[in-house]
């Protein structure tokens, strides 16, 4: 058993007075396996809201909600707003009803990307095995990097946490465990500014009383199915015969059985391949006309296509997503003739799908995406791919111009009316 | 039902229909063949719900009737009976089994009621074409190798059979493509072709139709509707759903203005491609052609397997260039060309290449080059 002081990074045997013998800090973490565990999950605390507070110190003690407009949803809210019951993904009108004094800030992703890049630069100094989950979340495998980093993983991570706080100005929470699944569970335990450790020995008993919904891949539908089968807690799953779980969840049943026992053999994979790329937007007022919806669709197609080209991938299946005024979700997909990475092809397919849906119904949201991704360099020359090939070379030229002269350097006629009106 | 039939006739008819029947079936009756005895004839019918083959054979019918029995089992039994045997098939309500007897052999097979057998309706087959058997075989043979097997573009998984009017002449045309190569064969439109709908005939149907054409008479009746196709081969008939999708606008990928014309001895060229391709990578099978006046140098470079170079004499005048193709596609096309020479028409190394058969103006092949 050893204990680590998160402030002065003193590592020694645990003490009974629960204060660091060096600096008297109470922020000690003690665990049997503290010096042995190497898989970590890092998660920023209320990331977007924290970036906003960092840049506008006058907001420090006020509830802050980051999200889109009055009709949008809460993207992130600070911990003060959370005390009022505000949660992320909550519709904005509901959040403002709970916390009318909140400062609502429209998300500024370029700012968050910069902050994220600063954090990820620090992570990749510690190990090449960093698997990003989003802008503010990542797994790390620090196995074998102890000597390089001058200390056990726990010490290195505590130091990282302090560095991010002082140098980037943001707080993060760390979970340290023997595998990815437990590390992610752990990072959530002690939030914000937390550091939690779960060892293999106590994993099963720790998980047993938790509801099955905490397991990755177990959504509301599967929760219902499992509960019907008398499997309400993770402990129930751990005790169940894997064979019976297979009957309920197919191949995923086996994985559930493993996870419930705290086992997860997935490696930290820095080159995790994306399954789809998509973009969506919620309108200021509900829209029903196909032309009005198409105007919203085009910039989304451009955004998706740009990401596809930047990642050198192409997608075989185009998906259109619509949400009706009464919050019903409609998705329509189409297989494309050739793998696509251009706004032109994506828009053409999505618009056809849209034309079939825009028949008087009013919508509040539209989204578009590409899936069944393939390596764009692998995409063979295709007899029917000539138009896509021409569109690709055109859009690549536009990418280049925009990179050099800014996003506004080239604007398609279709996007022109979507530009925000200049403030007078 | 009770009848007697000659073994050879029975075997031939069962052979015609049983290939439609899937080996593994989740719907039991689809493993069976429908036997209908009436008027001195026995009719056979088998289906996989997408396609139905029927055949008719003369028989001495004592008691007419209908029943279904396992197709593959029945076929195997009849196949193993001695040549020249007279086979008796009988079924009556008392024994719920079909009795097959010949000489001293006797088999009892489980049956399922004829009323449950799904019969494909031939409604809406409004267009009737009378096609010469040899001509139809040619359309299929020249094109079917290019039918796609890739499921994502399901509408390419068949042969596109349709009529076109070119220079005032109506033609019946077959086109197959997998997006990397395309094969087109046409013939003067037979009677009744004008105005018939274009259909994408599924690969399996093309195979079965081709097999049945071997034993058909001089002409075949073709019945078409936007949803179905029916081939009448005299007594046997094949009815099939067609692929529900629209075939891409292939005409715009067939080059018109390719002006770099190269003539090569087809057999020599194919043999050379085959030789150098021995060491090509399994996946791309890429062969580089360096075209120069009077010759083509074929090169295959493979990181693991080494390098192969071969020179082939050709008829070509003009500036030199390099272009790459999948060796298998080159060989497939060479295999279809009847004339001693093949004619290549190139545009540039990134654009589709046209291949023509000087002996047959009614066929065209298009190959998409590979990057080399």
Structure confidence at residue A377 as a pLDDT band (50, 70, 90): low
Structure confidence at residue B304 as a pLDDT band (50, 70, 90): confident
With CB atoms and an 8 Å threshold, state whether A386 touches B248. no
Instruction: Kindly list the residues of chain A whose beta carbon comes within 8 Å of any beta carbon in chain B.
Output: 316, 335, 337-338, 372, 380-386
Q: Please give the CATH topology (third level) of the domain spanning A33-198.
A: Alpha-Beta Plaits (3.30.70)
Question: What would the pLDDT profile of B345-360 be if each residue is shown by its tens digit?
Answer: 999 988 899 999 999 9
The ipTM is 0.74
pLDDT of res. A422: 46
Which residues of A are less than 8 Å from B181 in CB distance? Answer: 383
With CB atoms and an 8 Å threshold, state whether B153 touches A385. no
3-class DSSP state of A381: coil
- How large a percentage of chain A has pLDDT more than 70? 96
Q: Specify the range with the lowest mean pLDDT, choosing from A173-182, A329-338, B76-85.
A: A329-338
Phi, psi of B36 (to 5 degrees): -125, 115
CA-nearest residue to A385 within chain B is: B179
Provide the shortest C-alpha distance from residue A280 to chain B (in Å).
Answer: 26
Pick the CATH number of A276-418 from 3.30.360.10, 3.30.1490.100, 3.40.50.300, 3.40.190.10: 3.30.1490.100
Give A88 or A380, the one with higher predicted confidence. Answer: A88
Sheet arrangement for strand A329-340: A276-287, A363-375, A313-324, A329-340
Assigned token pair, A399: 């990418």
Burial class (CB in 10 A: 0-12, 13-18, 19+), B24: exposed
Q: Say if CB B33 and CB B46 are below 8 A apart.
A: yes
If you average pLDDT over every residue of chain A, what do you get? 88
pLDDT at residue A418 above 70?
no
pTM over 0.95: no
Provide the shortest C-alpha distance from residue B366 to chain A (in Å).
Answer: 9
CB proximity list for A126: less than 8 A, separation 6 or greater: A140, A142, A145, A149, A156, A160
Question: What would the pLDDT profile of A13-68 be if each residue is shown by its tens digit?
Answer: 877 767 888 888 889 899 989 999 999 999 999 999 999 999 999 999 999 999 87
Among A35, A58, A137, A372, the active-site one is A137
Domain boundaries, chain A: 33-198, 210-260, 276-418
CA-nearest residue to A383 within chain B is: B179
For tokens 């397919």, the residue is: A349
CB pairs under 8 A between A and B: 34
User: Mutation test of the interface with chain B: which of A384, A385, A390, A392, choosing the one with the most B Cβ atoms within 10 A?
Assistant: A384
CA-nearest residue to B350 within chain A is: A381
Question: What would the pLDDT profile of B113-151 be if each residue is shown by its tens digit?
Answer: 988 898 888 788 888 899 999 999 999 999 999 999 987
**Using CA of residue B301, residue B302, residue B307, residue B311, what is the dihedral sign?**
negative
Q: Say if CB A188 and CB A175 are below 8 A apart.
A: yes
For A383, the closest of B152, B180, B370 (CB atoms) is B180
Q: Say if CB A364 and CB A283 are below 8 A apart.
A: yes
Structure confidence at residue A208 as a pLDDT band (50, 70, 90): very high
Q: Please give the CATH topology (third level) of the domain spanning A210-260.
A: DNA polymerase; domain 1 (1.10.150)
In the predicted model, what is the mean pLDDT of residues A404-423? Answer: 73
With CB atoms and an 8 Å threshold, state whether B180 touches A380. yes
Q: Is A137 a catalytic residue?
A: yes
Question: What would the pLDDT profile of B213-233 be if each residue is shown by its tens digit?
Answer: 998 889 999 999 999 999 999
pLDDT at residue B242 above 50?
yes
Provide the shortest C-alpha distance from residue B12 to chain A (in Å).
Answer: 42
């Amino acid at each position: 058993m050893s204990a680590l002081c998160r402030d002065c990074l003193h590592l020694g045997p645990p003490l009974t007075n629960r204060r660091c013998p060096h600096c008297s800090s109470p922020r000690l973490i003690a665990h049997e396996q503290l010096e042995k565990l190497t898989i970590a999950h890092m998660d920023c605390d209320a990331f977007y809201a924290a970036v906003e507070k960092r840049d506008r110190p006058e907001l420090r003690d006020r509830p802050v909600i980051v999200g889109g407009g009055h009709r949008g949803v809460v993207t992130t809210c600070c911990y003060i707003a959370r005390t009022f019951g505000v949660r992320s993904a909550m519709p904005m009108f509901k959040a403002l009803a709970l916390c009318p004094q909140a400062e609502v800030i429209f998300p500024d992703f370029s700012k968050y990307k910069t902050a994220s890049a600063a954090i990820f630069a620090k992570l990749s100094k510690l190990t090449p095995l960093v698997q990003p989950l989003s802008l503010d979340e990542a797994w790390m495998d620090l196995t074998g990097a102890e000597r390089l980093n001058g200390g056990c993983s726990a010490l290195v991570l505590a130091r990282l946490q302090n560095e991010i706080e002082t140098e980037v100005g943001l707080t993060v929470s760390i979970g340290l465990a023997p595998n990815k699944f437990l590390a992610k569970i752990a990072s959530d335990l002690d939030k914000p500014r937390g550091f939690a450790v779960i060892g293999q020995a106590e994993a099963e008993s720790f998980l047993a009383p938790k509801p099955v919904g905490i397991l990755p891949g177990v959504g509301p539908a599967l929760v219902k199915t499992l509960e019907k089968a008398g499997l309400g807690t993770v402990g129930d799953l751990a005790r169940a015969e894997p064979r019976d779980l297979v009957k309920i969840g197919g191949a995923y049943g086996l994985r559930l059985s493993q996870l419930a026992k705290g086992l997860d053999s997935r490696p930290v994979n820095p080159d995790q391949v994306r399954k789809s790329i998509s973009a969506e937007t919620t309108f200021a007022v509900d829209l029903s006309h196909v032309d009005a919806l198409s105007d919203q669709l085009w910039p989304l197609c451009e955004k998706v296509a740009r990401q596809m080209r930047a990642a050198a991938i192409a997608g075989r299946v185009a998906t259109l997503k619509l949400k009706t005024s009464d919050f019903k979700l409609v998705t329509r997909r189409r297989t494309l003739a050739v793998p696509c990475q251009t706004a032109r092809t994506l828009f053409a397919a999505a618009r056809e799908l849209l034309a079939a849906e825009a028949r008087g119904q009013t919508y509040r949201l539209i989204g578009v995406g590409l899936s069944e991704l393939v390596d764009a360099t692998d995409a063979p020359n295709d007899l029917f791919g000539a138009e896509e090939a021409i569109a690709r070379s055109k859009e690549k030229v536009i990418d280049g111009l925009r990179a050099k002269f800014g996003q506004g350097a080239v604007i398609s006629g279709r996007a022109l009316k979507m530009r925000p009106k200049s403030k007078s | 039902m009770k009848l007697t039939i000659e073994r050879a006739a029975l075997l031939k008819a069962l052979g015609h229909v049983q290939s439609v029947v899937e080996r593994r079936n989740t719907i039991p009756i689809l493993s069976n063949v429908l036997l209908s005895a009436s008027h001195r004839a026995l009719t056979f019918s088998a289906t996989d719900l997408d396609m139905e083959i029927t055949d008719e054979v003369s028989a001495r019918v004592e008691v007419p009737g209908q029943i279904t029995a396992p197709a593959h089992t029945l076929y195997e039994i009849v196949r193993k009976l001695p040549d020249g045997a007279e086979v008796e098939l009988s079924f009556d309500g008392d024994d719920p089994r079909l009795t097959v007897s010949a000489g001293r052999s006797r088999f009892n097979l489980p049956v399922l009621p004829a009323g449950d057998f799904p019969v494909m309706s031939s409604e809406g087959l409004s267009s009737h074409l009378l096609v010469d058997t040899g001509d139809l075989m040619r359309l299929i043979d020249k094109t079917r190798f290019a039918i796609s097997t890739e499921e994502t573009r399901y509408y390419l998984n068949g042969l596109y059979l349709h009529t076109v009017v070119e220079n005032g002449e109506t033609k019946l045309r077959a086109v197959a493509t997998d997006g990397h190569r395309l094969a087109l064969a046409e013939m003067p439109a037979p009677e009744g072709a004008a105005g018939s709908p274009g259909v994408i005939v599924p690969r399996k149907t093309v195979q079965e139709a081709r097999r049945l054409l071997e034993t058909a008479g001089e002409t075949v009746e073709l019945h078409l509707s936007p949803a179905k196709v029916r081939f009448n081969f005299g007594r046997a008939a094949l009815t099939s759903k067609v692929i529900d999708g629209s075939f891409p606008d292939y005409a715009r990928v067939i080059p018109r203005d390719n002006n770099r014309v190269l003539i090569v001895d087809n057999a020599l060229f194919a043999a050379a491609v085959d030789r150098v391709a021995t060491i090509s990578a399994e996946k791309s099978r890429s062969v580089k052609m360096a075209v120069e006046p009077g010759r083509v140098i074929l090169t295959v470079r493979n990181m693991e397997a080494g390098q192969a170079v071969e020179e082939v004499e050709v008829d070509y005048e003009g500036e030199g260039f390099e272009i790459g193709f999948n060796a298998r596609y080159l060989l497939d096309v060479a295999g279809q060309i009847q004339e001693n020479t093949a004619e290549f028409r190139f545009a540039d190394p990134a654009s589709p290449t046209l291949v023509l058969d000087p002996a047959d103006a009614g066929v065209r092949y298009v190959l998409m080059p590979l990057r080399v």
